[in-house]
């Protein structure tokens, strides 16, 4: 009996990328719609399963010639499978350096208000390209700090997602209330993020350049609460994060030396602001991490005053 090899067929569900959606968010939605995994999806389309393990958030940026042609084939095959133009898939990529993108396992920060609105409108919630950048920590639409999606085995139920979103909104609002962001830093952050998303060659000068150089490839993802630390860094007590930034930037020896234990923030010009008097309203952050950070910030400022 002769066995005929089956030709790859277009996918049953035409899951198309949404505006400003990152590649991982889209391809994961494609796989979830067909109740399969990314490697299995690639095999079904006649593609090498090994390609599924590549980090494609930046498309073909930084790939070898051999990988470039393999990924270009993947893009074309995926476009055919869901019946869209190649350019629509290319629009999910970030044309940036690898150092400005979060590690793969940490690309799970979202705006809970954006997700709630998407679910109300009957749209699939997505992860936007700007949210996987290291310097991104707040939603540009709702001015709300981002929240990390919970790590779960398999897809979360609609009820579980709704419950998580309600709590995430409350936590994000509490963080925004406790650490009022400095307007100028927020403006610079939005401009820096937009420049990266659009792959603009715009050059910054002066203090704005120093800000972008500091945050574009920051290492706050090493912190227990990345968003809280970034919110603190953009507040009026942001100087308190310098010790952490210098610590994670060090190439530590096998055993930390004395200098690691005596990190000091750089000398800054005299401040033109004051810490307001009054108490902070208690929040609902896990294990009081934010309260500890706030206490450290105020003690640092008072000590240096």
Q: Which residue has the tokens 């990988």?
A: 67
Q: DSSP string of 219-231?
A: -GGGSSSHHHHHH
Task: Provide CB contacts within 8 A for 53, sequence distance 6+.
Answer: 39
Does 257 score more than 70 pLDDT? no
Integer CA distances (angstroms), 129 to 59, 205, 221, 235, 245, in order: 12, 25, 17, 24, 25
Choose the final residue of a domain: 65, 93, 121.
Answer: 93
Residue 213 structural domain? 176-251+282-304
| Residue 256 counted as domain residue | no
H or E stretch covering 110: strand 109-110
Domain count, the chain: 2
| Residue 56 counted as domain residue | yes
| Residue 266 counted as domain residue | no
| Residue 108 counted as domain residue | no
The reply to whether 201 and 295 lie within a common domain is yes
Q: What is the pLDDT of residues 29-51, one digit of tens each?
A: 999 999 999 999 999 998 887 88
The reply to whether 193 and 290 lie within a common domain is yes
Q: What is the pLDDT of residues 139-184, one digit of tens each?
A: 999 999 999 999 876 677 888 899 999 999 999 999 999 988 999 9
| Residue 27 counted as domain residue | yes
| Residue 51 counted as domain residue | yes
| Residue 144 counted as domain residue | no
Predicted model pTM: 0.80
Choose the final residue of a domain: 41, 70, 93.
Answer: 93
| Residue 77 counted as domain residue | yes
- pLDDT for 252 equals 46
Choose the final residue of a domain: 30, 60, 93.
Answer: 93
The reply to whether 79 and 198 lie within a common domain is no
Instruction: Specify the DSSP class assigned to residue 142.
Output: T
109: β partners: 148
């Amino acid at each position: 009996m002769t066995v005929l090899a089956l030709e790859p067929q277009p996918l049953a569900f035409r899951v198309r990328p949404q505006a400003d959606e990152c590649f991982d968010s889209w391809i994961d939605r494609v796989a979830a719609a067909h109740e399969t995994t990314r490697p299995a999806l690639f095999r079904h389309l006649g593609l090498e399963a090994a390609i599924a393990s590549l980090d494609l958030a930046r498309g073909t940026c930084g790939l070898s010639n051999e990988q470039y042609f393999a990924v270009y084939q993947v893009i074309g095959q995926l476009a055919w499978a869901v019946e869209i133009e190649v350019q629509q898939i290319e629009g999910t990529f970030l044309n940036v350096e690898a150092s400005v993108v979060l590690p793969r396992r940490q690309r799970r920060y979202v705006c809970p208000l954006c997700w709630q609105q998407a679910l109300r409108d009957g749209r699939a919630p997505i992860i936007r390209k700007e949210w996987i950048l290291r310097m991104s920590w707040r939603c540009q639409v709702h001015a709300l700090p981002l929240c990390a999606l919970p790590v779960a085995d398999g897809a979360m139920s609609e009820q579980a997602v709704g419950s998580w979103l309600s709590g995430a909104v409350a936590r994000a609002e509490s963080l925004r209330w406790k650490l009022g962001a400095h307007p100028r830093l927020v403006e610079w952050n939005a401009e820096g993020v937009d420049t990266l998303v659009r792959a603009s060659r715009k050059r910054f000068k002066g203090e704005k350049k120093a800000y972008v150089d500091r945050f574009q490839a920051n290492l706050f993802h090493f912190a227990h609460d990345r968003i809280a630390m970034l919110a603190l860094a953009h507040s009026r007590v942001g100087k308190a994060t310098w010790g952490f930034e210098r610590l994670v930037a060090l190439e530590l020896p096998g055993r930390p030396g004395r200098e690691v234990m005596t990190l000091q923030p750089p000398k800054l010009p005299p401040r033109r602001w004051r810490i307001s008097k009054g108490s902070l309203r208690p929040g609902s952050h896990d294990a009081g991490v934010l309260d500890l950070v706030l206490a450290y910030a105020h003690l640092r400022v008072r000590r240096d005053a």
